[in-house]
Structures are given as structure tokens and as C-alpha cells.
């Protein structure tokens, strides 16, 4: 779920043309990227879009609040994970101080602060302190239904905090989200499912990967989620190669990377290539594909 997707859905529901919606605020190409969640517009531009969509005051406030939460969530995922992987303890502490200034205004922030404390503890003493992880434990074991971006966040955290008991809870909640087939949450639901799949690869949870992929491949997701759907196929091929020893799927992986290479799709290509190389190595398998066959994936744009 992202603001561009929500705005596009409102535009369609109100039978407004793209030109009526964006006016002179941006180009059509920028709007196309925005509705896919691939560009970050200024807040004042977002508010002007609200006006053009003729949202009433209550709708604008609700959407603006959602926008703030999603924005801080994605910033958090990018910043904190990078700081943790870079062992930047001072950077984490500074970012925590920034979060503390936002805690009263944005509901999700107190939870993010607890997560940051966990990362700080891991860097300081190489483990999560009980007092830091308490909020996480309560969230995992008391929440029956999670908001989609909270589920995504905790799947990401699961990749860093080695707690196998979290996997079942994350897994069952992502199945609920997939089965709900909400139009507004589809994009983030697919992204989240892919993160859960990566978590299951790390813990060799073959059956869970198979079930998630089966659910994803059965659902007719909106075709505008082009790269997300490509990732579905990628994980299926990788699953077949690693867990089923289906060597014929190496040909499908080659077609997948060749296709992205022709498109010049650097970001999805690099992400999936790194996953392919990493998991083939982790599972002590022979790497059949060679990076030099897909040169466009490694070109800087």
C-alpha cells in the first residue's frame, strides 16, 4: 500500500481522467511512476492532489495521516537496516533521537523506537536485551491481525533477529493478507510475501515457501504490478531449483534474467540476481548462470 496507489484508486472510483487529477502538478510519466510507488513527491504536491480529487476534510486528514505513517515506515526500513548492517551505532542512536521527536504525532513511531533499541542492543552486546524486545514480544504474541505495513516491517526484522518462533506468526498473517485480496493493499502484500519467502529460505522452511507461492500464483493480481508478478515467478523457479532439484528451472531463471536484461530493469534485476547467487551459495549448489550474460542489469543509471 502506498499513497500513489490509493490516489489512483480514488481517481478511478470517481471517474476522473489523469489530466483532471494531475493538472500541471506533474507530467504523466511522473504520475505513472508515482502510482507504482516508484517516486517520492513533496508533501505539498500530495496535498494539492487531494484538493484536485475533491476529497472532503475528513478524507484528506485520514489519507494525510496514512501518508505520514507510510513515509516514516519506508524511511525507517531503509535507514535502520543500512545503519545496522554498517555497524553504525552512533547513527542508530541519532536516528532513534529523531524518532523520539515524532513519537506523539505518528502512531507507528513508538513501535519503531523499540525496534531501533533492539538493533542498538545487538550492536552493543550482540544480543537483544529483554527490556528492548518486550514490545516486540507483545506485538507478535498478542496481535491477531496485523496492519500490512507492520507485517512487512516485522518480516524485515525477522531477517535480522534470529527468532525462529516468529516465523509461524509472520507466515500465518501473510496468508490472511493474501487471502483478503484487498485492492489497496495488493502491492505491499506482494512485497511483504516476498520478504516472508526470503525469511523462509533462510530457515529452510520449504513447505511454507510452497504454500505462499501457491497462494500468490493462484490470485489474479492487478497487472499493473508488473515487477511484483515477475518476482513471483522468480521465487517459484528458485524454489524448484533449490528444494526440488529441478534443474530444468535453470532455463526459466535464464529467461527471467534475460528478459529483465532486455528491459534494462536494473533494480529488480540486481535484487533478484543477488538473491539467486546468495541462496545458491547458502544451499551449496552449483551456480549455473553467469553474470556476464546479463550486462544491462549491472549498468548504473
Q: Encode pLDDT of 221-264 as tens digits.
A: 666 667 777 888 999 999 999 999 999 999 999 999 999 888 87
Q: What's the whole-number mean pLDDT along residues 30-51?
A: 74
Ramachandran angles phi, psi of 203, nearest 5°: -105, 10
Residues of the chain with CATH 1.10.260: 1-55
**Closest of 155, 166, 81 to residue 116, by C-alpha:** 81
* Burial (Cβ within 10 Å: 0-12, 13-18, ≥19) of residue 165: exposed
Instruction: For residue 107, give Cα distances in angstroms to 9, 55, 81.
Output: 25, 23, 21
User: How far from 171 is each of 208, 212, 218, 230, 257, CA to CA, in Å?
Assistant: 7, 8, 17, 21, 28
Per residue in 279-298, pLDDT tens? 999 899 999 999 999 998 88
**CA–CA distances in Å: residue 158 to residues 37, 153, 211, 271:** 24, 9, 19, 19
Asked if the model's pLDDT at residue 145 lies above 90, the reply is no
193 close to 180: Cβ distance less than 8 angstroms: no
- Distance between CA 203 and CA 263 in Å, rounded? 33
| Nearest Cα residue to 148 out of 188, 98, 93, 195 | 188
C-alpha closest to that of 189 among 140, 146, 240: 146
CA distance 175 to 189: 10
Please, what sign has the CA dihedral across residues 120, 125, 126, 130? negative
Task: Select the CATH number that applies to the domain covering 1-55 from these four: 1.10.1660, 1.10.260, 1.10.3470, 3.40.50.
Answer: 1.10.260
Whether 183 has a pLDDT exceeding 50, the answer reads no
Query: What are the C-alpha distances in Å from 185 to residues 147, 216, 261?
Result: 10, 14, 29
State the pTM of this model: 0.57
Better-scored residue on pLDDT, 226 or 21: 21
Query: What whole-number percentage of the chain has pLDDT above 90?
Result: 20
Amino acid at each position: 500500500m502506498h499513497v500513489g496507489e490509493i490516489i489512483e484508486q480514488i481517481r478511478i472510483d470517481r471517474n476522473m481522467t489523469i489530466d483532471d487529477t494531475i493538472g500541471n502538478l506533474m507530467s504523466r510519466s511522473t504520475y505513472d511512476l508515482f502510482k507504482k510507488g516508484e517516486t517520492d513527491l513533496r508533501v505539498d504536491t500530495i496535498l494539492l492532489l487531494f484538493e484536485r480529487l475533491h476529497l472532503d476534510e475528513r478524507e484528506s486528514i485520514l489519507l494525510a495521516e496514512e501518508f505520514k505513517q507510510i513515509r516514516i515506515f519506508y524511511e525507517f526500513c531503509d535507514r535502520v537496516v543500512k545503519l545496522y548492517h554498517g555497524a553504525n551505532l552512533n547513527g542508530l542512536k541519532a536516528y532513534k533521537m529523531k524518532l523520539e521527536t515524532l513519537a506523539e504525532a505518528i502512531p507507528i513511531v513508538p513501535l519503531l523506537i523499540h525496534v531501533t533499541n533492539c538493533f542498538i542492543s545487538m550492536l552493543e552486546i550482540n544480543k537483544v536485551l529483554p527490556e528492548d524486545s518486550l514490545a516486540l514480544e507483545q506485538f507478535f504474541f498478542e496481535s491477531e491481525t496485523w496492519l500490512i505495513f507492520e507485517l512487512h516491517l516485522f518480516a524485515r526484522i525477522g531477517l535480522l533477529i534470529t527468532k525462529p518462533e516468529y516465523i509461524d506468526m509472520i507466515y500465518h498473517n501473510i496468508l490472511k493478507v493474501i487471502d483478503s485480496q484487498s485492492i489497496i493493499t495488493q502491492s505491499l502484500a506482494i512485497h511483504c510475501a516476498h520478504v516472508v519467502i526470503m525469511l523462509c529460505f533462510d530457515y529452510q522452511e520449504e513447505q511454507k515457501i510452497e504454500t505462499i507461492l501457491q497462494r500468490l500464483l493462484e490470485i489474479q493480481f492487478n497487472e499493473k504490478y508488473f515487477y511484483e508478478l515477475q518476482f513471483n515467478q522468480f521465487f517459484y523457479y528458485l524454489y524448484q531449483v533449490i528444494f526440488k532439484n529441478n534443474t530444468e528451472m535453470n532455463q526459466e531463471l535464464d529467461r527471467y534474467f534475460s528478459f529483465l536484461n532486455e528491459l534494462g530493469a536494473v533494480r529488480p534485476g540486481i535484487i533478484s540476481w543477488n538473491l539467486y547467487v546468495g541462496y545458491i551459495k547458502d544451499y551449496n549448489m552449483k551456480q549455473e548462470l553467469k553474470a556476464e550474460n546479463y550486462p544491462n542489469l549491472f549498468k548504473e543509471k
